[in-house]
Amino acid sequence: MSEAESESRAGREEVWIEKYRPQTLDDVMGHENIVGRLKSYVSRNDLSHMLFSGPAGTGKTTCATAIARELYGDDWREHFLELNASDERGIDVVRDRIKNFARTSFGGVEYRIIFLDEADALTSDAQSALRRTMEQFSNNVRFILSCNYSSQIIDPIQSRCAVFRFSPLADDAVADEIRNIAAEEDIELTEDGLDALVYAADGDMRKAINGLQAASVSGDTVDESAVYAITSTARPEEIRTMVQSALDGDFTASRATLDRLLTEEGIAGGDIIDQLHRSIWEFDIDDEAAVRVLERIGETDYRITRGANERVQLEAMLASLAQGE
């Protein structure tokens, strides 16, 4: 790839997510049941308050904007307010921006939509104020809340919403979309590169598209090596070798693999834990050993999230497995 081509492709990266975002509900992939329910609301022009719950990159924001596009057409931005609750998480955002938008006069539509992304980041006081606001302006505003963990949303809000639970996208759906984008952008994508993107994404379409973008800038061909390097993802066989060495009692070899992943490849300890958890049932180990590994993974993950040193905790986990504990 020439320098000019590389710069041109890099300059287009920022718009790829929006460029390939589905514009209508019919374009949304991998959530046929949810799309069917949403289309019934849209066809009747009778939305209720909604709560979209699920992992990142599974289509929650896409569905919210698709609903607005189908209801309002080209003027959808005038009737759609999007706020990221993790940036504006206090009670003031409910009292000021949301109420001001709800009170603003408008014509031609029965109601407007307020989309609160990452609503589980709202403080409890803000959620209590939001509950009252949802009641006060229910005649002319519909709320769509998006969150990763619905358990973080207070019950009074959940009871006012139709709940839609988004699961991680199937590997086939991610692979199909990546193939289409690669063809559209004239990217040479190998089969092992595609498999690596699907593995690294783990059901997150946004992560898959970002990985394809980044890897496409690094060379002429997007292959397995480019994907794992650019996404800071360990190869599944490396994770398997690390765990198997520990289970075989070879702590030195297991620690050497861990050190390479942390130091040379720059993979975060939390990401290694996530890959371990994803891959444990793919290892050729018996159920007793799998249960023991999962127990240690859970304990290590808890300690890391509480602020403990990643390297120390991961080495301690491998040492425990090597000792057969």
Task: Answer whether residue 63 shows pLDDT above 90.
Answer: yes
Cβ contact 269:311 at 8 Å? yes
Does the pTM of the predicted model rise above 0.85?
no
Q: Residue 221 is which amino acid? A: T
Quote the CATH superfamily of domain 31-165: P-loop containing nucleotide triphosphate hydrolases (3.40.50.300)
| CATH 1.20.272.10 boundaries in the chain | 236-322
147-184: pLDDT as tens digits = 999 899 999 999 999 999 999 999 999 999 999 999 98
| CATH 1.10.8.60 boundaries in the chain | 170-230
Q: Give the pLDDT band of residue 84 (cuts 50, 70, 90).
A: confident
Task: Answer whether residue 304 shows pLDDT above 60.
Answer: yes
Strand partners, 84: 117
Task: Answer whether residue 7 shows pLDDT above 80.
Answer: no
| Mean model confidence pLDDT for the chain | 85
64-82: pLDDT as tens digits = 999 999 998 888 888 898 8
Task: Answer whether residue 134 shows pLDDT above 60.
Answer: yes
Tracing tokens 């014509």 back to the chain, one arrives at 107
User: If we measure between CA atoms, which residue out of 75, 157, 81, 139 comes closest to residue 114?
Assistant: 81
Residue 11: its pLDDT value, please?
46
Query: How far apart are alpha carbons 20 and 6 in whole angstroms?
Result: 20
Residue 52: its pLDDT value, please?
95
Task: Answer whether residue 272 shows pLDDT above 50.
Answer: yes
233-271: pLDDT as tens digits = 888 889 888 988 998 899 999 999 999 999 888 888 888
- The mean pLDDT of 105-114, rounded to a whole number, is 78
| CATH 3.40.50.300 boundaries in the chain | 31-165
Least confident piece of the model among 115-119, 201-205, 234-238, 280-284:
280-284
* Element (DSSP H or E) covering residue 209: helix 205-218
- Domain 170-230: CATH class, spelled out: mainly alpha
Q: Which residues are annotated as a binding site?
A: 54-61
Number of residues that this document lists for the chain: 325
Task: Answer whether residue 138 shows pLDDT above 90.
Answer: no
User: If we measure between CA atoms, which residue out of 33, 41, 29 comes closest to residue 164?
Assistant: 33
Q: Give the pLDDT band of residue 105 (cuts 50, 70, 90).
A: low
Range list of β-strands (E), 5-104: 50-53, 80-84
Task: Answer whether residue 3 shows pLDDT above 60.
Answer: no
Tracing tokens 């952008």 back to the chain, one arrives at 185
10-43: pLDDT as tens digits = 444 455 777 788 888 888 888 889 999 999 999 9
Query: How far apart are alpha carbons 325 and 253 in whole angstroms?
Result: 18
Query: How far apart are alpha carbons 80 and 166 in whole angstroms?
Result: 22
- The mean pLDDT of 213-230, rounded to a whole number, is 85
Note the CATH architecture for domain 236-322.
Up-down Bundle (1.20)
Q: Which residues are annotated as a binding site for ATP?
A: 54-61
Query: How far apart are alpha carbons 23 and 65 in whole angstroms?
Result: 8
